[in-house]
Amino acid sequence: MPAKPITLGPVHFEKRGDAIEFLKAMLGRYDLGDRVNAEDAVYLRAALENHPESAKKIGCGIKDFSVRTADFGSRCFWVNRSDGTTEKFSISAAIRG
């Protein structure tokens, strides 16, 4: 199966797996409860817009992103919406579409 490229903000990846690794490395740089900085949020916004449930995940609009726990104690990115609600999202789902 040929590699499928993806672009996240200003960065182009020849393989989607490379984009997943990029975002996983980003996740690892943050502690639980941290807000994601503006530079990294550019990549997360682009990834979330690619998510198969992007409209549901984005909802009324993105305020920022944070790192919190998810199912079974795993860590993941959460989108914090402008109305104060939050939603977790999968890096893999966002990249694989």
Pairing of β 75-81 and β 62-69 = antiparallel
In whole angstroms, give the CA distance from residue 77 to residue 32: 10
At 22-52, the pLDDT tens digits run 999 999 999 999 999 999 999 999 999 999 9
Q: What average pLDDT does the segment 83-90 reach?
A: 95
Taking the alpha carbons at both ends of the chain, their separation in whole angstroms is: 17
Domains of the chain: residue spans and CATH: 6-96 (3.10.450.40)
The position carrying tokens 């989607």 is 16
Q: What average pLDDT does the segment 8-16 reach?
A: 95
Answer whether residue 1 shows pLDDT above 70: no
